[in-house]
């Protein structure tokens, strides 16, 4: 094999690899961009985010938020609102109630995308993780958002139970 044909072979191999390498380099240089309020609304609106210890429902009507948890036998429910903005932020602003009382809390998550991959983190200083891969995977957090309301009935039941406990303590 002559030096000319070896050089041609190397040149051909490089010409085939360079576009792929350039694309990979470009992808790593692409800064993450915040999701718009509209994009977040489309992801969360009228969905239930199921958690290992309960879940939260994002009602479209009135942007109402309802949730419940049972963390190590300590049950609580929340009622409030959810808001989104064009900085890629989703916030749940609610009053959480348990057997010990009630307290207001605001929990926010930031969302950024690179290409079709969405990243999420708890604000203000959580770690970024893949929320939804460009080709959705079974273990994506995005998959925990479901259309069925699996929260409202449980939250209402818990609310009634806690109210009855307060009434019983007051002797009424």
Cα–chain center distance at 112? 11
123 located within any domain: yes
11 located within any domain: no
110-151 confidence digits (pLDDT tens): 999 999 999 999 999 999 999 999 999 999 999 999 999 999
Contact yes or no for 109/89 (Cβ under 8 A)? yes
Q: Which CATH number is 48's domain given? A: 2.40.128
What backbone torsions phi and psi does residue 85 show, to the nearest 5 degrees?
Answer: -140, 175
Q: Compute the 3-state secondary structure of the chain and give helix, strand, coil in percent, each to the nearest 5.
A: 35, 40, 25
Find residue 83's DSSP bridge partners. Answer: 91
* Predicted structure pTM score: 0.79
The number of folded domains in the chain is 1
**H/E element, 93:** strand 89-98
Helices and strands (H and E) in the chain: how many = 3, 10
121 located within any domain: yes
14 located within any domain: no
4 located within any domain: no
138 located within any domain: yes
- Identify the domain containing residue 79 by its residue range: 33-167
Euclidean distance between CA atoms 146 and 79, whole angstroms: 19
63 located within any domain: yes
59-117 confidence digits (pLDDT tens): 999 999 999 999 898 999 999 999 999 999 999 999 999 988 999 999 999 999 999 99
């Amino acid at each position: 094999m002559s030096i000319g044909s070896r050089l041609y072979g190397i040149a051909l191999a490089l010409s085939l690899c360079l576009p792929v390498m350039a694309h990979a380099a470009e992808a790593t240089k692409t800064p993450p961009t915040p999701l718009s309020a509209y994009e977040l609304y489309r992801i969360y609106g009228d969905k239930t985010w199921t958690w290992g210890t309960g879940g939260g429902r994002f009602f479209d009507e009135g942007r109402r938020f309802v949730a419940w948890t049972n963390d190590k036998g300590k049950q609580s429910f929340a009622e409030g609102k959810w808001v989104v903005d064009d900085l890629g932020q989703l916030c749940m602003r609610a009053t959480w109630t348990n057997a010990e009382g009630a307290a207001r809390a605001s929990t926010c998550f930031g969302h950024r995308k690179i290409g079709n991959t969405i990243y999420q983190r708890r604000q203000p200083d959580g770690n970024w993780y893949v929320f939804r891969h460009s080709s959705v995977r079974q273990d994506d957090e995005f998959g925990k958002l479901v259309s069925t309301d699996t929260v409202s009935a449980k939250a209402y039941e818990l609310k009634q139970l806690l109210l009855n406990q307060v009434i019983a303590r007051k002797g009424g």
